[in-house]
Structure 1
Amino acid sequence: MTALETNARLGGIERFASAFGRVTVPPEDRALSPYTGLTRAHWAAVADDLLLSVARYRSPGGARIDLPGRPSQQGVRTDGLEGFARTFLLAAFRHVGEGGRAPYDHLSPYLDGLVAGTRTVGADDDESYPVIGDIGRHGQPHVEAASIALSMQLTRADTWDRLDAGAQDRLDGWLRQAIHREPSDNNWYLFPLTIASFLESVGRADEQTGYVIERGLSLIDGWYRGEGWYSDGAADAFDHYIGWALHLYPLLHARHRGDHALEEKLTQRLREFLGTYSHMFDRNGAPLYQGRSLTYRTATLAAVAMGEVFGATPLEHGQSRRIMSANLRFFFEHDATRDGVLTLGWFGEHAPTLQRYSGPGSPYWASKGFAALMLPAEHPLWTSTEAELPGDVRDHAHTIRPVSWLIQTTASDGLARVHNHGSDHVKLFREPDAGAPDPLYARFAYSTRTGPTALHNASDNDIQVRYRDVWSVRRKIHAVTGGADWVASWHAPRFPLYAPFDASDPADGGPVLPSVRIESLTAVHGRVEVRAFRLRNVPPRLPVRLSGWAVAGDAPEDFTTHVDGAEATIHVETPDGRLTSQLLGVHGLGEATCAGAPYGTAFGRWSVMPEVRGLASGRVYVALASLTADPAPAPLAELAAVEVDGSAVAIDWLDDGTRLVLDLRQMPW
Structure 2
Amino acid sequence: MWEAAPAWFLGWVISPYTGWTREHWAGLADRLLLAARRHASPSHARISFPGEPGGYGPDVDALEGFARTFLAAGFRVAGEGGRDPLNLMEWYARGIAAGTDPHHPDRWVRLDEHGQAKVEAASLALVLHLTRPWLWDRLTSTVREQVVDYLAPAVGSGYPPINWVWFQIVVEQFLASVGGPYEQEDIDAGLALSESFERADGWYADGSERAYDHYAGWALHFYPPLWREMAGLPPDPRHLARLERFLDHAVHLVGADGSPLIQGRSLAYRFAAATPFWVGARAGVGSPGLLRRAASGIVRHFAGHGAPGEDGILTLGWHGPHRAIAQDYSGPGSPYWAAKGLYGLALPAGHPVWTAVEEPLPVERGDFTRVVRAPGWLVSGTRADGVVRVVNHGTDHSYPGSDLADAPLYARLGYSTATFPLLAGDPLDQSVVVLDEEGRASHRTGFTAGALDVLPSGTVVGSSRWRAHWGEQGPGPDHGYSRAGAEMRHGPEVEVVSLVRGAWEVRLTRVDGRARGLRVGGWPAPEHGPATRVIGGAGLSASGVEVAGTPLGERTLVPWCATPGEVRPGRWYAAALLLGDGGEPPAIGDRKITWPDGTIDDFTTIPVLSK
**Secondary structure of residue in 2 paired with 1:349:** coil
Shift of 1:427: 7.0
Counterpart pick for 2:402 among 404, 421, 433: 433
**Secondary structure of residue in 1 paired with 2:199:** strand
Work out whether 1:155 is the aligned partner of 2:134. no
Matched with 1:622 is: 574
Work out whether 1:643 is the aligned partner of 2:585. no
Distance in 2 (alpha carbons) for counterparts of 1:498 and 1:371: 37
**Secondary structure of residue in 1 paired with 2:120:** helix
Following superposition of structure 1 onto structure 2, how do residues 166-185 of structure 1 map, counting pairs within 5 Å?
A: 166-185=142-161
Aligned sequence identity (%): 37
Cα contact 2:251–2:362 (8 A) shared by 1: no
- TM-score, structure 1 length as denominator? 0.84
Q: Which amino acid aligns with 2:199?
A: R
Matched with 1:99 is: 81
Change in CA separation of 1:26 and 1:202 when aligned onto 2, cut-off 3 Å? farther
Work out whether 1:236 is the aligned partner of 2:207. no
Matched with 1:482 is: 452
Counterpart pick for 2:412 among 443, 449, 470: 443
Following superposition of structure 1 onto structure 2, how do residues 242-641 of structure 1 map, counting pairs within 5 Å?
A: 242-260=216-234, 263-313=236-286, 316-338=287-309, 339-426=311-398, 433-456=402-425, 459-469=428-438, 470-484=440-454, 485-497=460-472, 512-513=489-490, 516-536=492-512, 538-540=513-515, 542-552=516-526, 572-573=527-528, 578-597=529-548, 600-614=549-563, 615-618=566-569, 619-628=571-580, 630=581, 634-636=583-585, 640-641=586-587
Cα contact 1:534–1:664 (8 A) shared by 2: no
Change in CA separation of 1:393 and 1:180 when aligned onto 2, cut-off 3 Å? same
Distance in 1 (alpha carbons) for counterparts of 2:223 and 2:335: 19
Distance in 1 (alpha carbons) for counterparts of 2:88 and 2:193: 36
Distance in 2 (alpha carbons) for counterparts of 1:394 and 1:236: 31
**Secondary structure of residue in 1 paired with 2:109:** coil
Cα contact 1:458–1:595 (8 A) shared by 2: no
Distance in 1 (alpha carbons) for counterparts of 2:37 and 2:294: 29
Cα contact 1:35–1:386 (8 A) shared by 2: yes
Distance in 2 (alpha carbons) for counterparts of 1:267 and 1:201: 24
Distance in 1 (alpha carbons) for counterparts of 2:389 and 2:596: 21
Distance in 1 (alpha carbons) for counterparts of 2:207 and 2:340: 21
Matched with 2:3 is: none
Counterpart pick for 1:655 among 589, 597, 600: 597
Change in CA separation of 1:509 and 1:186 when aligned onto 2, cut-off 3 Å? closer
Matched with 1:557 is: none
Change in CA separation of 1:344 and 1:221 when aligned onto 2, cut-off 3 Å? same
Shift of 1:642: 1.9
Matched with 2:68 is: 86
Task: List alignment gaps of at least 5 residues for structure 1.
Answer: 1-24, 553-571
- TM-score, structure 2 length as denominator? 0.92
Q: Which amino acid aligns with 1:489?
A: S
Residues 149-189 of structure 1, C-alpha deviation per residue, up to 9 Å, x if partnerless? 10101111222222223322221121121233322221011
Distance in 2 (alpha carbons) for counterparts of 1:527 and 1:607: 19
Which stretch of structure 1 is more off in the superposition, 70-79 or 434-443?
434-443
Shift of 1:26: 6.9
**Secondary structure of residue in 2 paired with 1:212:** helix
Shift of 1:363: 0.7
Cα contact 2:432–2:518 (8 A) shared by 1: yes
Distance in 2 (alpha carbons) for counterparts of 1:421 and 1:187: 23
Distance in 2 (alpha carbons) for counterparts of 1:593 and 1:330: 32
Distance in 2 (alpha carbons) for counterparts of 1:668 and 1:248: 44
Cα contact 1:423–1:477 (8 A) shared by 2: no
Distance in 2 (alpha carbons) for counterparts of 1:27 and 1:427: 52
Residues 92-141 of structure 1, C-alpha deviation per residue, up to 9 Å, x if partnerless? 000111000032111211111111011117x7x3x11112248xxx2111
Cα contact 1:83–1:364 (8 A) shared by 2: yes
Which stretch of structure 1 is more off in the superposition, 143-152 or 26-35?
26-35
Residues 211-232 of structure 1, C-alpha deviation per residue, up to 9 Å, x if partnerless? 2211121112111012010100
Matched with 1:8 is: none
Work out whether 1:130 is the aligned partner of 2:109. yes
Shift of 1:88: 0.4
Cα contact 1:149–1:195 (8 A) shared by 2: yes
Q: Which amino acid aligns with 1:482?
A: L
Cα contact 1:518–1:535 (8 A) shared by 2: yes
Matched with 1:65 is: 47
Q: Which amino acid aligns with 2:279?
A: M
Task: List alignment gaps of at least 5 residues for structure 2.
Answer: 1-6, 455-459
Q: Which amino acid aligns with 2:392?
A: N
Residues 189-217 of structure 1, C-alpha deviation per residue, up to 9 Å, x if partnerless? 110011011112223354x2x12211121
Change in CA separation of 1:269 and 1:497 when aligned onto 2, cut-off 3 Å? closer
Residues 224-277 of structure 1, C-alpha deviation per residue, up to 9 Å, x if partnerless? 0120101000111000000000001111101222322x6222111111100111
Q: Which amino acid aligns with 2:111?
A: I
Q: Which amino acid aligns with 2:55?
A: Q
Instruction: Count how many residue pairs are aligned between Structure 1 and Structure 2.
Output: 590
Matched with 1:41 is: 23
CA RMSD of superposed structures (Å) = 2.4
Cα contact 1:461–1:547 (8 A) shared by 2: yes
Cα contact 2:363–2:388 (8 A) shared by 1: no
Cα contact 1:496–1:507 (8 A) shared by 2: no
Matched with 2:4 is: none
Shift of 1:435: 4.4
